[in-house]
């Protein structure tokens, strides 16, 4: 290997930093705010529809609302639209319900060619798995803390 | 002496490129060089049962096209050399399994194309082969899925990311005289300047290109002015700018003749192009479909193609390793063919 010395690497890294196009932080933030907020507004509209026309209680309307949002996300993922939309929207497209549904659907679609069990079954949680693992682990830790505080 | 300097092979017999076959995906066909490619795919999305099979089909079509244009059958070939980006080189081995000829699969990521040409020229020069088919392929979706994320996953890529080219390029090299010949190859060293960001291949590979170009000039005693065009494989916008800086620091002024296949193959406004094209097919398509034509029609006399490869795998990337890179350079020259 061409041994690039530590100095060479540092000098080169500075050159790279000078040549790297600036990230459009302001534009990304505005887009994430508008899109992330927009998705939440759509969710709110759906929930209101369930409450007003489906005669659900405010709490009971949550489940069908989430189902509709998941369906929309999976639909747009399978139509090949969601990833292009996410390139534009950035973090705004990662809001929990739709973003999570996208990771599951994208992995499932991707691995369809390896069959139903090893492909879809084995890979569906490839991207979503870490969220579940650390979600459960952190919930457990918080629950232990709460238990300790209330019972000791 | 066929080896000059430290890492350059010269080929006095000047193996000829007697035919080329290029197959370009939809976005590549809609790009500025679209008309240069033999087969232009117009349908979007998956054509067969999987992305991998699609990629294998691209390679087969390119090889078949090159053979048809050379008026050869597979049994006329002494050797087939090539590779792609898939693990175990499935694009090459599965794609070309119908072509009954001795095969050598090679891998140096996106510089696989020039590595294939170098090894083929070596076999031809040494007399181990009379006709060699070489090639490289890549597919945007199979690369996304192997190196990054599922294709439909919604994640924002930064401006330094590059679009893997969908396509395949193949060529028949022969001991016969041809209008375009291979006269030298400089085999690159692995170079690592500590880049870890897998969205910045261009930055990881630019020092490898600079190193190989420098070695070629030192070994052969040539200067950049001896070439009508110096084309790197897939540095993209940022890598290209970095290479200009690095060559400048080494006292070379590349001027207008330095270009990059990844910048030539797409227009910046095409979908998800970002910093430019990449992939093993990028240098293969642009060189075989476009650059060699400039030699053939007499616009140019001599060019240097330095395909560049980032040698990372997803596992090494996740283990936070820096990205080693390599670049192999090939000199293509125009030969006046006497038809008398």
Using H for helix, E for strand and C for coil, what is the string for B225-255?
A: HHCCEEEECCCHHHHHHHHHHHHHHCCCCCH
* Alpha-carbon gap: B311 to the closest alpha carbon of chain A (Å): 13
Q: Which residue has the tokens 């390679």?
A: B59
- Judged by CB atoms closer than 8 Å, whether chains meet at A84 and B194 is answered as no
Match 């097919």 to its residue by tokens: B281
Each residue's pLDDT tens digit, B236-260: 999 999 999 999 999 998 889 999 9
* pLDDT exceeds cutoff 50 at B65: yes
Distance, CA of B182 to CA of B17 (rounded, Å): 7
For the segment A36-43, the average pLDDT, to the nearest whole number, is 94
Which residue of chain A comes nearest to B322, CA vs CA?
A9
Cβ contact, residue pair B211, A2, below 8 Å? yes
Tell me how far apart the alpha carbons of residues B50 and B42 are, in angstroms, rounded to a whole number: 18
> Can you give the pLDDT at residue B44?
87
pLDDT at B107: 97
**pLDDT at residue A95, as a whole number:** 83
Instruction: Test A113 with B51 for CB contact under 8 angstroms.
Output: yes
**Contacts of residue B294, Cβ cutoff 8 Å, sequence gap at least 6:** B228, B229, B300, B303
Domains B3-174 and B180-334 share a fold: yes
| Model confidence pLDDT, tens digit, residues B184-243 | 999 999 999 999 998 999 999 999 999 999 999 999 999 999 999 999 999 999 999 999
Q: Can you give the pLDDT at residue B271?
A: 86
Per CB-CB distance under 8 Å, the chain A contacts of B194 are 4, 9, 12-13
CA distance B293 to chain A (A): 33
Closest-CA distance of chain A to residue B149, Å: 8
pLDDT value at residue A1: 45
Quick one: tokens of B20?
A: 């080329």
Predicted pLDDT at B201: 92
Mean pLDDT of chain B: 95
Residues of chain A neighbouring B196 (CB-CB closer than 8 A): none
Q: What is the mean pLDDT of residues A118-143?
A: 94
Confidence at residue A32, expressed as pLDDT on a 0 to 100 scale: 94
Q: Is the pLDDT confidence value at A94 over 90?
A: no
- Rg of the Cα atoms in chain A: 22
- Look at residue B88 and tell me whether its pLDDT is greater than 60: yes
Residue whose C-alpha is closest to residue B142's, from B256, B35, B52: B52
Closest by Cα among B313, B272, B285, B233 to B33: B285
Strand B163-164 to B8-10 pairing:
unpaired
Task: Report domain extents, chain B.
Answer: 3-174, 180-334
According to the model, what pLDDT value does residue B339 have?
A: 60
Can you tell me the mean pLDDT for A34-62?
94
Report CA-CA distances (Å) from A48 to A57, A121, B315.
Answer: 10, 35, 46
Predicted pLDDT at B151: 87
pLDDT reported for residue B266: 97
> Is residue B111 within 8 Å of B278, Cβ to Cβ?
no
A113 vs B49: CB contact, 8 Å cut-off? yes
Question: Could you give the CA distance from residue B182 to residue B233 in angstroms, rounded to a whole number?
Answer: 17
Q: Name the residue in chain B with its Cα closest to that of A98.
A: B154
Minimal Cα distance from A7: which residue of B? Answer: B193
Give the span between the Cα atoms of B134 and B81, in whole angstroms: 5
Q: Look-up: residue for tokens 């459009």?
A: A24
B315 C-beta neighbours (distance < 10 Å), count: 8
CATH topology assigned to domain B3-174: Peroxisomal Thiolase; Chain A, domain 1 (3.40.47)
Alpha-carbon span B122 to B116, nearest angstrom: 10
Residues from chain B contacting residue A111 (CB–CB below 8 Å): 150
Predicted local confidence at residue B340, as pLDDT: 47
Which of these, B237, B300, B284, B298, lies nearest to B263 by C-alpha position?
B237
> Could you give the ipTM of this predicted complex?
0.88
Average pLDDT over residues B151-170: 93
Kindly give the pairing relationship between strand B258-260 and strand B229-232: parallel
E strand or H helix at A111: none
The answer, yes or no, to whether residue A3 has pLDDT greater than 70, is no
Model confidence pLDDT, tens digit, residues A9-23? 999 999 999 999 988
Query: What's the mean pLDDT when you consider all of chain A?
Result: 92
> Model confidence at A37, in pLDDT bands (50, 70, 90)?
very high
A16 CB neighbours in chain B (<8 A) are: 195, 200, 203, 238, 242
Please tell me the pTM assigned to this model: 0.94
Q: Which CATH superfamily is domain B180-334 in?
A: Stage V sporulation protein AD (3.40.47.40)
State what percent of residues in chain B have pLDDT above 90. Answer: 92
């Amino acid at each position: 290997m061409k041994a690039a010395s530590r100095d060479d690497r540092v000098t080169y890294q500075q050159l790279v930093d000078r040549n790297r196009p600036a990230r459009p932080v302001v534009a990304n933030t505005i887009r994430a705010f508008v899109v992330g907020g927009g998705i939440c507004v759509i969710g709110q509209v759906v929930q209101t529809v369930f409450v007003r026309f489906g005669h659900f209680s405010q709490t009971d309307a949550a489940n069908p609302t989430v189902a509709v949002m998941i369906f929309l996300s999976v639909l747009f993922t399978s139509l090949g639209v969601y990833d292009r939309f996410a390139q534009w929207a950035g973090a705004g497209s990662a809001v929990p319900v739709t973003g999570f549904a996208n990771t599951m659907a994208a992995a499932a679609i991707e691995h369809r060619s390896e069959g139903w069990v090893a492909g879809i079954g084995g890979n569906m949680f490839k991207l979503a798995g870490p969220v579940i693992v650390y979600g459960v682990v952190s919930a457990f830790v918080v629950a232990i803390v709460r238990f300790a505080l209330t019972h000791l | 002496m066929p080896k000059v300097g430290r890492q350059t092979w010269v080929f006095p017999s000047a193996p000829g490129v007697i035919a080329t076959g290029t197959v370009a995906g939809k976005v590549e066909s809609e790009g500025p060089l679209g008309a240069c490619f033999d087969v232009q795919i117009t349908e979007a999305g998956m054509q067969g049962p999987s992305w991998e099979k699609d990629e294998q089909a691209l390679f087969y079509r390119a090889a078949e096209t090159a053979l048809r244009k050379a008026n050869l059958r597979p049994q006329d070939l002494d050797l087939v050399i090539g590779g792609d980006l898939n693990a175990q080189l499935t694009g090459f081995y599965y794609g070309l399994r119908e072509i009954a000829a001795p095969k050598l699969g090679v891998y140096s990521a996106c510089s696989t194309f020039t590595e294939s040409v170098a090894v083929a020229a070596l076999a031809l020069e040494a007399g181990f082969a009379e006709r060699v088919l070489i090639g490289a392929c890549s597919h945007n979706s199979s690369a996304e899925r192997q190196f990054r994320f599922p294709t439909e996953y919604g994640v924002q890529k930064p401006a330094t990311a590059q679009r893997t080219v969908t396509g395949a390029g193949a060529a028949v090299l022969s001991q016969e005289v041809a209008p375009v010949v291979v006269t030298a190859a400089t085999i690159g060293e692995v170079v690592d300047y500590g880049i870890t960001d897998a969205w910045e291949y261009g930055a990881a590979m630019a020092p490898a290109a600079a190193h190989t170009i420098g070695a070629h000039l030192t070994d052969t005693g040539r200067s950049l002015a001896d070439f009508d065009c110096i084309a790197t494989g897939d540095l993209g916008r940022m890598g290209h700018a970095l290479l200009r800086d690095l060559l400048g620091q080494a006292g070379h002024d590349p001027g207008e003749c330095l270009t990059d296949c990844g910048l030539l193959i797409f227009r910046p406004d095409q979908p998800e192009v970002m910093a430019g094209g990449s992939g093993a097919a990028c240098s293969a398509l642009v060189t075989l479909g476009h650059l060699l034509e400039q030699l053939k029609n007499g616009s140019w006399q001599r060019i240097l193609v330095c395909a560049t490869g980032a040698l990372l795998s997803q596992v090494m990337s996740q283990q936070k390793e820096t990205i080693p890179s390599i670049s192999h350079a090939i000199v293509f020259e125009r030969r006046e063919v006497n038809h008398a």
